Chains A and B, each alone.
Chain A
């Protein structure tokens, strides 16, 4: 039961509560960095690291942080981690730093991180929060990678910068533009909505102990 709970915490970020496609958080960095697979993965990993760290930290501090100033506290913590990650990336992976550009510091205002801090980490123990961070981060990274794969392969005719034979001749450049990003985004939201709609019904009983059951059900209903 308990193991199941942990697993639920870890995996639900991937599809069922996918931060980008189901919770519709972090759309801006998603659209901006999903033009190529390399930036998408970089962004996903950077955001995941910040997410895990801030989740653990906020979970540890959840009893100390007074309700009235919790948002400023979260922001300071998140901003601190982002700055640390930024400096580390700049120093040791300068190419990724250039590629991520302005989106790296913008992780501070990535609503996935603040959203999970507010929705999850502030109510759960550090282990659960870390797992949630891993799950959500994984979901974010996977979504970005899939989206970037679609956009880069069809839009630029390459994958991870490697030119693909057929696609480089017949590409759809609009997919690399914001409009194409929204299009792919919309298609993926629709697809995931379709998938989760069936799944949630099926596994409803298995998730009774899941703390997010209520939210899950509500989301499934809305979807």
Chain B
């Protein structure tokens, strides 16, 4: 019985499972038989309906197969049975991945509709192009050639993907109607120079053919593919056995530092010897640009035989690029012919000169590329024509900035600012304006044939590059900044006005102090006669003050008739560089007062009437950037004219230090009144610390404040003491027994940060002091170091009082 049960339990699972499986399978087969024809009909109807979305008049679609020469992007073609046209499905690359789209094209070759089937474009950006009924797709209806497609601004890559699809559709239509597609002829990359080629072919003389160069030693094939921002152009060098021996890539239109990696040799050399671009991986981070190189290599491989057999071209498609001029000469020969008929020009750096006028080249960064501009001036330096090469800009948008309609607006203007930017192509047209302005500025230099030391269009401040006039004086000096010397070079005009200023602060904090040496700050000095007129730079006070000091120092040197290198401005006398010589009856009193961290010293000069004529403060021991503000001339200047320090407010955030300055001034004023001239010290040198002062460094134990004296008595005794916490004075009340052991401790830290410093007042912490004789045995609280240290020092000071009593 038991055995039988065992064998049954072994077999039964198998049988049951098989049975259930068979029954379910049977049920499924039955259902399938019923539903399959319905589903098939549904799907056919759906497919037909989908095709009718793009080709409403079409019925009875049948797939077209066996047509040779269709563009690679086309994945299927369906012909309407009633002759209404074709439905062409394409697959092109978008931003997020493949875009599969279906287009209807009627018998006359006009697009009737489009629908994107598969896409992974960015929601809200690329979706402007791929979503049903989008303006991009609406514009396609009725179109008979792809040249008028407007890309959607901001969705360039997705737009390009769709545009390529539309181009493929038109090409497919041509093929389907028995025509042939014109092969795309690629231009060589602009950086393909003879030298670059010489690296791969030594001593080979090439014949330029359509789409490449041929020789008995190998073939160069040009190709291009869409990168992220521009077309990445590639010249692929094949040896005579058709193996890839090198690549010349122009990815200059791609994102600097990211996409342009695709043009670096480290990447392009990976293609050497490969049979297909797919054998090389993309570079992570510059996916689009490197994928474009791969695509271009594949195109070049495919076109190799065509190029080998291609007809010779009369002239090279693109001349080797001129590398001497900082601004490349744009191709504007046609314009020159038109504007200066029969004039022979002399080539000079950045332009051409002639007796009939001057041509100046300039460039500026547009949206996707560097826009090169040629500005033609007549003999009277009036603009007679502008041509802009904006071919690297978004087709249909940025390229407008290169059109004659826009560039002609510059004719006759004195400054490009008179011309409005093109709405929708703001960046590109603003770049043209900038370039025209820089051309106007550079006109004189080009006329003189000097060229410019730097590419002017790229320099932010052309002022700095103006050649100094004869009587300008340039002085180089330095002053102490936050971390080191800040050196400056100032150019003064003959009238003492600062014409240019450049500063170097290699030792200052990068990103903070370094901002003070940027032209955005130093240019504020231009036009001034000294550094006082310019405000310090918030956050970079010490460094900008150093620049101001150095400028003032240079002004002194200039006034003294010096030029060239001048010794550094003396330290610790921030303002003025050299105090003006006191008048006969002026009295200078040196006073000191306690600041937050150190004694501050004030040099106060009083006039005979007791009014303050000058004040310089040394607060170098105070917190840099905070307490130190009280020593800046912007603050000390407020005292000038008053008779004491009371009328001047403290500096918010630097209360203690500025209060110390006020105290010192008052002490000096008192001394002046009493006829003293020697150094004085502010009464009660420990200035009352105000709340909201900068915390002292944590390591520093705040000095215990004198505790109120109590009557000495034997036995238990309660003593109150206080010490400076982070934000306020912490008061403690300590009860000692007759042996000096703490029996009770209460702490008032109510002025400290709630939840942090206040921890030091909680019994969990104060209880640790019970049983001890002083505060040393108790650890500080992590996170509330300053406040708990204050409690400890106050306890110690209370203990000291207990002992002394």
- A residues with CB within 8 A of B: 61, 64-66, 68-69, 72-73, 76-77, 79-80, 83-84, 87-88, 90-92, 94
* Pick from B17, B35, B39: contact of A69, CB under 8 Å: B17
CB-CB nearest 6 A-B residue pairs: A80-B24, A91-B35, A91-B38, A69-B13, A87-B35, A66-B13
Closest-CB distance, A79 to chain B (whole angstroms):
7
List 17 A-B pairs, Cβ < 8 Å. A64-B16, A66-B12, A66-B16, A69-B13, A69-B16, A72-B17, A76-B17, A76-B20, A76-B24, A80-B28, A83-B28, A84-B27, A87-B28, A87-B39, A91-B34, A91-B38, A92-B35
Contact A91 B42 (CB under 8 A): yes
Question: Which residues of chain B are near A76, meaning CB under 8 Å?
Answer: 17, 20-21, 24
Contact B46 A94 (CB under 8 A): yes
Question: Which residues of chain A are near B21, meaning CB under 8 Å?
Answer: 76
Question: Which residues of chain B are near A73, meaning CB under 8 Å?
Answer: 16-17, 20
Which of B10-31 touch A at CB < 8 Å? 12-13, 16-17, 20-21, 24-25, 27-28, 31
Q: Assuming the A-B contacts A73-B20, A91-B38, A91-B39, are A83 and B13 also in contact, with contact meaning beta carbons closer than 8 angstroms in the complex?
A: no
Closest-CB distance, A172 to chain B (whole angstroms):
17
Q: Interface centre among A61, A80, A88, by most B CB within 10 Å?
A: A80
Kindly state the separation between the CA atoms of A78 and B410 in the bound complex, as whole angstroms. 77
Interchain Cβ contacts within 8 Å, total number: 52
Kindly state the separation between the CA atoms of A123 and B25 in the bound complex, as whole angstroms. 26
Kindly state the separation between the CA atoms of A88 and B27 in the bound complex, as whole angstroms. 13
* Pick from A61, A69, A84: contact of B28, CB under 8 Å: A84
- B residues with CB within 8 A of A: 9, 12-13, 16-17, 20-21, 24-25, 27-28, 31-32, 34-35, 38-39, 42, 46
Contact B17 A87 (CB under 8 A): no
Question: Which residues of chain A are near B16, meaning CB under 8 Å?
Answer: 64-66, 69, 73
* Pick from B9, B25, B34, B35: contact of A66, CB under 8 Å: B9
Closest-CB distance, B747 to chain A (whole angstroms):
42
Kindly state the separation between the CA atoms of A190 and B34 in the bound complex, as whole angstroms. 46
Closest-CB distance, A93 to chain B (whole angstroms):
10
Question: Which residues of chain B are near A87, meaning CB under 8 Å?
Answer: 28, 31-32, 35, 39
Kindly state the separation between the CA atoms of A88 and B35 in the bound complex, as whole angstroms. 6
Kindly state the separation between the CA atoms of A166 and B20 in the bound complex, as whole angstroms. 54
Name the residue on A nearest B11 (C-beta): A66
Question: Which residues of chain A are near B12, meaning CB under 8 Å?
Answer: 66
Question: Which residues of chain A are near B27, meaning CB under 8 Å?
Answer: 80, 84
Question: Which residues of chain A are near B28, meaning CB under 8 Å?
Answer: 80, 83-84, 87
Kindly state the separation between the CA atoms of A68 and B17 in the bound complex, as whole angstroms. 11
Contact A77 B20 (CB under 8 A): yes
Kindly state the separation between the CA atoms of A73 and B31 in the bound complex, as whole angstroms. 20
Question: Which residues of chain B are near A92, meaning CB under 8 Å?
Answer: 35, 38
Name the residue on A nearest B17 (C-beta): A69
Contact B35 A90 (CB under 8 A): yes
Kindly state the separation between the CA atoms of A64 and B13 in the bound complex, as whole angstroms. 9
Closest-CB distance, B729 to chain A (whole angstroms):
48
Name the residue on B nearest A98 (C-beta): B46
Q: Assuming the A-B contacts A69-B13, A91-B42, A94-B42, are A61 and B31 also in contact, with contact meaning beta carbons closer than 8 angstroms in the complex?
A: no
* Pick from A68, A79, A80, A88: contact of B13, CB under 8 Å: A68
Kindly state the separation between the CA atoms of A88 and B16 in the bound complex, as whole angstroms. 27
Question: Which residues of chain A are near B32, meaning CB under 8 Å?
Answer: 87
Contact B31 A83 (CB under 8 A): yes
Kindly state the separation between the CA atoms of A152 and B51 in the bound complex, as whole angstroms. 31
Closest-CB distance, B117 to chain A (whole angstroms):
14
Please give 11 more A-B residue pairs, beta carbons under 8 A apart, in addition to A79-B24, A87-B35.
A66-B9, A66-B12, A68-B9, A72-B17, A76-B21, A76-B24, A87-B31, A88-B31, A88-B35, A90-B42, A92-B38
Question: Which residues of chain A are near B42, meaning CB under 8 Å?
Answer: 90-91, 94
Kindly state the separation between the CA atoms of A94 and B47 in the bound complex, as whole angstroms. 13
Closest-CB distance, A144 to chain B (whole angstroms):
25
Question: Which residues of chain B are near A64, meaning CB under 8 Å?
Answer: 16
Question: Which residues of chain A are near B20, meaning CB under 8 Å?
Answer: 61, 65, 73, 76-77
Kindly state the separation between the CA atoms of A94 and B264 in the bound complex, as whole angstroms. 53
Question: Which residues of chain A are near B9, meaning CB under 8 Å?
Answer: 66, 68
Closest-CB distance, B404 to chain A (whole angstroms):
46
Kindly state the separation between the CA atoms of A90 and B13 in the bound complex, as whole angstroms. 34
Q: Interface centre among B32, B39, B46, by most A CB within 10 Å?
A: B39
Closest-CB distance, B31 to chain A (whole angstroms):
5
Closest-CB distance, B44 to chain A (whole angstroms):
12
Kindly state the separation between the CA atoms of A79 and B27 in the bound complex, as whole angstroms. 11
Kindly state the separation between the CA atoms of A84 and B27 in the bound complex, as whole angstroms. 8
Name the residue on B nearest A92 (C-beta): B38
Kindly state the separation between the CA atoms of A68 and B11 in the bound complex, as whole angstroms. 11
Kindly state the separation between the CA atoms of A106 and B360 in the bound complex, as whole angstroms. 70
Question: Which residues of chain A are near B35, meaning CB under 8 Å?
Answer: 87-88, 90-92
Name the residue on B nearest A94 (C-beta): B42
Kindly state the separation between the CA atoms of A84 and B35 in the bound complex, as whole angstroms. 9
Question: Which residues of chain B are near A80, meaning CB under 8 Å?
Answer: 24-25, 27-28
Question: Which residues of chain B are near A77, meaning CB under 8 Å?
Answer: 20, 24
Kindly state the separation between the CA atoms of A83 and B30 in the bound complex, as whole angstroms. 11
Kindly state the separation between the CA atoms of A80 and B30 in the bound complex, as whole angstroms. 12
Name the residue on A nearest B46 (C-beta): A94
Closest-CB distance, B546 to chain A (whole angstroms):
50
Question: Which residues of chain A are near B25, meaning CB under 8 Å?
Answer: 80
Closest-CB distance, A89 to chain B (whole angstroms):
9
Kindly state the separation between the CA atoms of A3 and B9 in the bound complex, as whole angstroms. 38
Kindly state the separation between the CA atoms of A119 and B46 in the bound complex, as whole angstroms. 43
Kindly state the separation between the CA atoms of A69 and B16 in the bound complex, as whole angstroms. 9
Kindly state the separation between the CA atoms of A77 and B13 in the bound complex, as whole angstroms. 15
Kindly state the separation between the CA atoms of A88 and B17 in the bound complex, as whole angstroms. 25
Question: Which residues of chain B are near A94, meaning CB under 8 Å?
Answer: 42, 46
Kindly state the separation between the CA atoms of A77 and B22 in the bound complex, as whole angstroms. 11
Kindly state the separation between the CA atoms of A92 and B37 in the bound complex, as whole angstroms. 11
Name the residue on B nearest A72 (C-beta): B17
Kindly state the separation between the CA atoms of A83 and B35 in the bound complex, as whole angstroms. 11
* Pick from A61, A66, A72, A90: contact of B39, CB under 8 Å: A90
Closest-CB distance, A177 to chain B (whole angstroms):
11
Kindly state the separation between the CA atoms of A84 and B29 in the bound complex, as whole angstroms. 9
Question: Which residues of chain A are near B24, meaning CB under 8 Å?
Answer: 76-77, 79-80
Name the residue on B nearest A78 (C-beta): B24
Kindly state the separation between the CA atoms of A198 and B273 in the bound complex, as whole angstroms. 77
Kindly state the separation between the CA atoms of A76 and B12 in the bound complex, as whole angstroms. 17
Kindly state the separation between the CA atoms of A87 and B35 in the bound complex, as whole angstroms. 6
Closest-CB distance, B25 to chain A (whole angstroms):
8
Question: Which residues of chain B are near A61, meaning CB under 8 Å?
Answer: 20
Kindly state the separation between the CA atoms of A92 and B36 in the bound complex, as whole angstroms. 11
Name the residue on A nearest B27 (C-beta): A80
Closest-CB distance, B3 to chain A (whole angstroms):
17
Kindly state the separation between the CA atoms of A69 and B31 in the bound complex, as whole angstroms. 26
Q: Interface centre among B9, B12, B34, B35, by most A CB within 10 Å?
A: B35
Closest-CB distance, A191 to chain B (whole angstroms):
32
Name the residue on A nearest B26 (C-beta): A80
Kindly state the separation between the CA atoms of A144 and B590 in the bound complex, as whole angstroms. 83
Question: Which residues of chain B are near A91, meaning CB under 8 Å?
Answer: 34-35, 38-39, 42
Kindly state the separation between the CA atoms of A66 and B38 in the bound complex, as whole angstroms. 39
Closest-CB distance, B53 to chain A (whole angstroms):
15
Closest-CB distance, B26 to chain A (whole angstroms):
9
Kindly state the separation between the CA atoms of A51 and B776 in the bound complex, as whole angstroms. 73
Question: Which residues of chain B are near A84, meaning CB under 8 Å?
Answer: 27-28, 31
Name the residue on B nearest A80 (C-beta): B24
Kindly state the separation between the CA atoms of A65 and B18 in the bound complex, as whole angstroms. 11
